[in-house]
Amino acid sequence: MTTTRPEGLPDQLRHYIGGKLVDSVNGETFDVLEPTTNETYIQCASGTADDVDLAVAAARKAFDEGPWPRMMPRERANILYRVADEVSKMNERLAARESFDSGLPIRQASGQAKRAAENFRFFADLIVAQVDDAFRMPGRQMNYVNRKPKGVAGLITPWNTPFMQESWKLAPALASGCTVVLKPAEFTPLSAELWVEVFENAGLPEGVFNMVHGFGESAGDALVKHPDVNLISFTGETTTGQIIFGNCAPTMKSMSMELGGKSPAIIFADADFEAALDSTLFGVYSLNGERCTASSRLLVERPIYDRFVEAYAERAKKVKVGPPSDPDTELAALVHPSHYDRVMNYVEVGKQEARLVAGGKRPDHLPEGNYLEATVFADVPRDARIFQEEIFGPVVAITPFDTEEEAIELANSVKYGLAAYVWTSDVTRAHNVSHAIESGMVWINSHNVRDLRTPFGGVKGSGLGQEGGYRSLDFYSVQQAIHVTLGDVHTTRFGATGYSENDPGLAGPGS
């Protein structure tokens, strides 16, 4: 079953460099597939180091000579508000493209523009309200923070909710005054093209936003290794993050890494059963299960275990799998045949490791495309691959536990530490268990609802650094400390009078 091709697609997807849509220097393109048929629907320019060189040069020129880093925060914010307005205006177009290109159910794709726009409004608000530290040493010294944009930002993004992920990096990078080169994911380049229209209509100065399409190993790698790029903000797989980490070292780039996850939801027997059921089903099957914070491991306390597994499996069997363009579809096609094969391989592994209680195969009514039924494995042991490894699809692993300690231990027994969910009506336990979980974020009796002011990021294999609110602006800024003497200069006079009674010492007057 196919889906609807959006109207008004260009003949080909191109790079955007120095204010112009351009082909690759070598003219190369790659095939972009549509996930309900896996047929090629468009060609996309395939960038190499030559294209990255041109994009970085344009971003560098805009940074060194252009108005963007030098604007008053209010002036920059006004352009970012216009960006948000432009993004909001294209909600339906964006949803249609995102759904068509990535296989996201259309109803779930349509929230993305609103969220992307909100990212720009939020960071525009922050820069006009930004406060930096100043410290006074009465009569002696004044110290203050001179915040400056870090320079040219390399932004490398994944294919799940691609436009939203791109906005999550573009908004704080641009708000901070950086110029950028974006490398969108090669599976889903279609919606990124909309940024060109958005930024041009909003009046972003030329060269501030640049985009190079292509594969990670060529375009992405060249961006990471480029000596004129000051930072890399990366979202993607942990193994890719490890490679990029190494490749940033020779040029000492700042790095922010949002990586994979295998997030636990701990459901105690005293939890609101129905609320936990609804939330954990939505948590793993929304966005086709291609969600970094998916509650992909459910740890359920023994007294309610059988009842929970049964109820969960019954609901999973009724999850509506269908084409992305159908407004009733709850779970649609996975992004790409190679990813689909990977997920299906995990399903086969799971059948050897645990008890399959729902799904586990392609739906009968969808003979082609990357479709998989909502899949549930129960009695999953902790050393199972489907317990330990990120599947990034509509597959959940359910495991029983007997004590609070065991639940915490199971939660922490994987290499990841992105999100966690705790379901209990015992307030004390909710907090104590949350504190003991090794993860960057915890939701208590809640689905994944984000307040943009809070920290976002993972620990262990799930990431490096934390963004969110002012933390994101800090990542894209240099905080230069300026120290100025207010009174007489007291320096130990080497080669003259030498040390004296009033010598401030090596640590200086502030200590």
CB of 161 to ligand NAD, least distance (A): 8
* Residues with a known catalytic role: 258
Beta carbon of residue 477, minimum distance to ligand NAD (angstroms, whole number): 21
Helix pair 162-175, 73-89: axis angle to 10 deg? 160
Residues contacting 51, CB < 8 A, separation 6+? 15, 17, 24, 25, 45, 212, 214, 219
User: Which span (145-153, 157-165, 305-313, 405-413) binds ligand NAD, by CB under 6 A?
Assistant: 157-165
> In the complex with ligand NAD, which residue's Cβ is closer, 133 or 217?
217
By beta-carbon proximity to ligand NAD, the closer residue of 175 and 419 is 419
Rule CB under 6 A: say whether 392 interacts with ligand NAD. yes
Residue 272 interacts with ligand NAD (CB under 6 A)?
no
Closest CA to 334 of 298, 296, 302, 373: 373
| Residue listed under structure tokens 């177009």 | 93
244 binds ligand NAD (CB under 6 A): yes
126-133 long-range contacts (CB < 8 A, ≥24 apart) are 126/175, 126/469, 126/470, 126/473, 127/73, 127/76, 127/77, 127/175, 127/176, 127/473, 128/73, 128/74, 128/77, 130/73, 130/470, 130/473, 132/479
* Piece of the chain touching ligand NAD by CB under 6 A; list 31-39, 71-79, 255-263, 407-415: 255-263
How far apart are CB 81 and ligand NAD at their closest, in Å? 25
Cα(439)–Cα(453) distance, integer angstroms: 18
Structure token pair of residue 3: 């889906």
Distance, in Å, from the CA atom of 382 to the CA atom of 265, rounded to the nearest integer, reads: 14
Site string for ligand NAD, 100-139 (x = CB under 6 A): ----------------------------------------
User: Within 13 A of 233's CA, how many CA atoms are on the CB side?
Assistant: 31
Q: Give the C-alpha distances (Å, rounded to integers) separating 263 from 62, 348, 419, 463, 465.
A: 41, 21, 5, 13, 18
Is 172 a binder of ligand NAD (CB under 6 A)? no
What's the token pair of residue 14?
């191109």
- In this chain, which of 210, 235, 325, 434 binds ligand NAD, going by CB under 6 A? 235
- The residue of the chain with the least Cβ separation from ligand NAD equals 216
Asked if 292 touches ligand NAD (CB under 6 A), the answer is: yes
Per-residue x/- track, 405-424, ligand NAD (CB under 6 A): -------------x------
Q: Which listed range, 203-211, 266-274, 396-404, 455-463, lies at the site for ligand NAD (CB under 6 A)?
A: 455-463
Of residues 329-388, which lie at the interface with ligand NAD (CB under 6 A)?
Answer: none
Positions that interact with ligand NAD (CB under 6 A): 156-160, 165, 183, 185-186, 215-217, 220-221, 224, 235-237, 240, 243-244, 258-261, 292, 390, 392, 418, 458, 462-463
